A and B are shown apart, each in its own frame.
Chain A
Amino acid sequence: MEEIYAKFVSQKISKTRWRPVPSGSLQTAETFATGSWDNEENCVSLWSIGDFGNLDPDGGFEGDHQLLCDIRHHGDVMDLQFFDQERIVAASSTGCVTVFLHHPNNQTLSVHQQWPAAHHHSGPGSPSYSRAPCTGIVCDNPEIVTVGEDGRINLFRVDHKEAVRTIDNADSSTLHAVTFLRTPEIVTVNSIGQLKIWDFRQQGSEPCQILSLTGDRVPLHCVDRHPNQQHVVATGGQDGMLSIWDVRQGTMPVSLLKAHEAEMWEVHFHPSNPEHLFTCSEDGSLWHWDASTNGPEKSSLFHQGGRSTFLSHSISNQASVHQSLISSWLSTDPAKDRIEITSLLPSRTLSVNSLDVLGPCLVCGTDAEAIYVTRQLFS
């Protein structure tokens, strides 16, 4: 049984993100950031899940996360991403994009860089500009890409005061989320069920590819890319459906999986164990999708670094298992049935707005003002 710790924090949580661990280190996740929304005063906070387990073998305070520091954030936190170990980028409902810097010595946060009107409307009704919420961010050091309700895409460099590239009116409807496909290429999803691929090497304001759901135009709210297979993309929609896309072929999703009963707010492949996928929804549920088969190779720790060795091994005895490992998310045969779904939260109440996974740890935040953390995802 996975143990999940809940903590009520007196603010509605819109985003939760693990701080990345230095690559190559054996450290596990221990710090995460949260952003709040719809409070009179919103803030970005850093929390530590600490290692109290060593001090207290009875498990008294084990897993209870403690606040490290916080800083006021103007407007709702619409998205939050770690830029690197110390820097966090936050998107605001005021259209502002802020980079916060964490000082571990005295445990404080400060504003490192800010683009105050990164997203804004410029209509005839508004002579100057009225601010438009920034809805999504993705970082790839040193670049930051933001999208917003104004249908604009901005490309920032963390040390440049001005945007490096702006695509005005990139989308006629609201852009809900963005992620990198391959470095100069990004994927955006919008409120009329389209998935667009943009290449920053190309000039002009046209996407290089548009994929869309069939006629229903169901808004897509989140997008994530498979960590190893860069053409595999997962999106979540307003009707709670999980769609898996292969951007190399076709303009329609490869598979549509009935999932939640309301908006799917986030979808994440497990970064090092991509046979596992996590989704959360407005209906208050948090799901773990397990597409790994029940074979002996269930543990795919090897599968990231040493695929070739693993390949020869599995061909020798269980070729079919391996086949499912390579493309289990794309398979259109009845292998779908092999996806095992577990609900991670004990009782569902209000919306689960955000989740993040790193190693064996998962954190999620809800409108019921609780943060849930588990450190034994795969036990």
Chain B
Amino acid sequence: MEELDCEPAVTWIPGVNSKRKQMCFDWGPGEMLLCETSFNKKDASEKVPSCPFIYIIRKDVDVYSKILRKLFNESHGIFIGLQRIEEELTGKSRKAQLVRVSKNYRSVIRACMEEMHQVAIAAKDPAIGRQFSSQVSILSAMELIWNLCEILFIEVAPAGPLLLHLLDWVRLHVCEVDSLSADVLGSENPSKHESFWNLVTVLVLQGRLDEARQMLSKEADANPSCASMCRILGDLMRTMPILSPGNTQTLTELELKWQHWREECERHLQDSTFAASPRLESLCKIMLGDEATLLEHKELLSNWYHFLVTRLLYSNPTVKPIDLHFYAQSSLDMFLGGESSPEPLDNILMAAFEFDIHQVIKECSIALSNWWFVAHLTDLLDHCRLLQSHNLYFGSNMREFLLLEYASGLFAHHSLWQLGVDYFDYCPELGRVSLELHIERIPLNTEQKALKVLRICEQRQMTEQVRSICKILAMKAVRNNRLGSALSWSIRAKDAAFATLVSDRFLRDYCERGCFSDLDLIDNLGPAMMLSDRLTFLGKYREFHRLYGEKRFGDAASLLLSLMTSQIAPRSFWMTLLTDALPLLEQKQVIFSSEQTYELMRCLEHLASARTGCGEPDAQRLQDDDVETTKVEMLRLALARNLARAIIREGSLEGS
């Protein structure tokens, strides 16, 4: 065992007193049953009333959120799409595909976050509102982490573009500036707005220099005394060299230009160009990447990773990926200043900056309350071929382990189980067995649902499960006295034993009622009739009745006889068959030939001798025997008469 990464959280269950009573529990898939036992904890003899409830404890509460269901469903589609990405795709096109998939996942998170936010605002109960708000912040943290992982691991941006990506990342997630900007620009006199300078500072901090410049020009218009200073600072902003996507200049050229620009900024600072306006001077210092000045604006930066990106923008815009973790660590230390300790989110981001994917996934698994995030992120990173070497000391690899956990969570849910199936499909090692175990536990309340489950099993050649599902349905149908349905299901399962059982029920019903039910089915058995001997007999016996009904006595007679001589008919049914022969024997014309009559007689004697040879008699038995004996006598008489007629007819036919 590895050591624990953190103390497991304690969950209190209201009503259960673990101090007084011992508890017992049982694991289920995704859920746990828990109750108090009648054993007291200490040997105290006092009677403590025990809690009368059995609790169901669910591990994965998020699965039950209505809004998150959309996340699960929509991301399922993306997941399937990702698994189908051609393995042959290589290089740029593959990377572009993967980035697109990553962006799709993020947009789903965002959509979900927005909806959750709307609900949080609309909630009337403040407690519920808070609950939703906390979900919003969790989702937003997910998106933040995912985005950073996308930049560092999927996009793998090189020095130069890396910073541009990080800037976008910060702009996307520290977005209060947009509402602030709208607020200030919407006012009558923007430059007199109380947040005017905050806005300008934030724009500079985020590297949105064009917008900052426009703001400064407003200030210049309103305040002619500092117009020239504003113009100079504005020029500095305008001339700051940045890497633009379409530009072909090399990194070295850029560095050179940037160095010149920085010297110019420094010169202005030394010349005290902005001495008259501390605000403008501070902006200039920010643009020189002065850490002390940056830290003065902690409030506006709001977090250490914003600080990190701003610091890099103005001190090392062509930072290399490998140097990132060094800057990140020092930024975190500086920003927190020893006042507070890093939170889980900080640790996750730091692990990402250190390019330690496994640490990122581990920390996320601990910090987040569901498996959705880690399962999908790990899978995506695995498709980027970043995780192949890593194997766990249990189960298979990490990707599969996380997917299995997530899918099991889905299967525990009343209706999301269908999504889980596809996730299991893409777990090469343990997916199949997990699916087999889970799919059998789906409650089947309608045939339609059963058909869906069957389809899943049939597509995957899970014959054992198909059999068991059909058997369950056949059993249910028998219990409901729906013999036709039961027979259909056992035919579908190719379950000969059960088909025999159902056929027997049909025959018994026939003996009791003297007519067949469910003719539409029995008449249309077709090749399925061969499934079991009894079923064949049922089909053939019904055919006999049809022939008889159509007055095709000759055919009917030979079919009846062949049923007995070929041993298809069960011995217990022979008496019925012989009784069925009676009316044929009594017909005006001779139907059974002498040969056939001998056969019939042999059958009858078989039956009679078997009866006399067994069992001790009792009252009921004697009465039955009485009836039986009468039948046998009648049959013997009829047979003898028929034999006589047949011999005469055959003799006279030959003679003529």
Residues of A within 8 A of B481 (CB): 121-125
Binds A, one of B33-41, B136-144, B210-218, B518-526: B518-526
Q: Which one of A78, A282, A368 has the highest number of Cβ atoms from chain B below 10 Å of its Cβ?
A: A368
Which residues of A from 159 to 184 have beta carbons under 8 Å from B? Answer: 169, 171-174
CB distance from A219 to the nearest CB of B (A): 8
The one of B74, B448, B482, B521 that contacts A8, using a Cβ cutoff of 8 Å:
B74
Residues of B within 8 A of A196 (CB): 520
Residues of B within 8 A of A121 (CB): 480-482
Residues of A within 8 A of B414 (CB): 38-40
- Counting chain A residues whose Cβ lies within 8 A of the other chain, the interface size class is 35 or more
Residues of A within 8 A of B452 (CB): 282, 351, 367
Assess whether A133 is in contact with B447, with CB atoms less than 8 Å apart.
Answer: yes
What's the tally of chain B residues with a CB closer than 8 Å to chain A? Answer: 42
Assess whether A347 is in contact with B418, with CB atoms less than 8 Å apart.
Answer: no
CB distance from B453 to the nearest CB of A (A): 11
The one of B419, B479, B520 that contacts A123, using a Cβ cutoff of 8 Å:
B479
Residues of B within 8 A of A10 (CB): 66-67, 69-70
Residues of A within 8 A of B340 (CB): none
The one of B76, B422, B484 that contacts A151, using a Cβ cutoff of 8 Å:
B484
Residues of B within 8 A of A266 (CB): none
Assess whether A174 is in contact with B415, with CB atoms less than 8 Å apart.
Answer: no
Assess whether A350 is in contact with B418, with CB atoms less than 8 Å apart.
Answer: yes
Assess whether A135 is in contact with B524, with CB atoms less than 8 Å apart.
Answer: no
Which residues of A from 178 to 224 have beta carbons under 8 Å from B? Answer: 191-192, 194, 196, 210, 212, 215-217
Assess whether B485 is in contact with A191, with CB atoms less than 8 Å apart.
Answer: yes
CB distance from A164 to the nearest CB of B (A): 24
Assess whether A76 is in contact with B73, with CB atoms less than 8 Å apart.
Answer: no
B222 at the A interface (CB under 8 A): no
The residue in chain B whose Cβ has the minimal distance to the Cβ of A213 is B524
Assess whether B448 is in contact with A135, with CB atoms less than 8 Å apart.
Answer: yes
Which residues of A from 31 to 48 have beta carbons under 8 Å from B? Answer: 37-40
CB distance from B419 to the nearest CB of A (A): 8
Residue interface mask A1-37, B partner, CB < 8 A = 1: 0000000111110000000000000000000000001
Number of A-B residue pairs with CB-CB distance less than 8 Å in the complex they form: 131
Bound form: Cα–Cα A130–B483 in Å: 16
CB distance from A149 to the nearest CB of B (A): 6
Which residues of A from 104 to 156 have beta carbons under 8 Å from B? Answer: 121-126, 130, 132-133, 135, 149-151
A172-B484 in contact given A347-B77, A349-B77, A368-B73 (Cβ < 8 Å): yes
The residue in chain A whose Cβ has the minimal distance to the Cβ of B70 is A8
A370 at the B interface (CB under 8 A): yes
The one of A135, A191, A351, A369 that contacts B69, using a Cβ cutoff of 8 Å:
A369
Residues of B within 8 A of A212 (CB): 524
Q: List 17 A-B contacts (CB under 8 A).
A: A8-B74, A9-B70, A38-B415, A38-B449, A133-B447, A149-B482, A172-B518, A172-B521, A194-B520, A215-B527, A217-B491, A262-B459, A347-B77, A347-B81, A349-B76, A350-B418, A369-B73
Residues on A facing B (Cβ under 8 Å): 8-12, 37-40, 76, 78, 93, 121-126, 130, 132-133, 135, 149-151, 169, 171-174, 191-192, 194, 196, 210, 212, 215-217, 238, 262-263, 282, 347, 349-351, 367-370
Known: A121-B482, A133-B446, A169-B517. 6 other contacts (CB 8 A): A12-B418, A172-B485, A194-B520, A263-B451, A368-B73, A368-B77
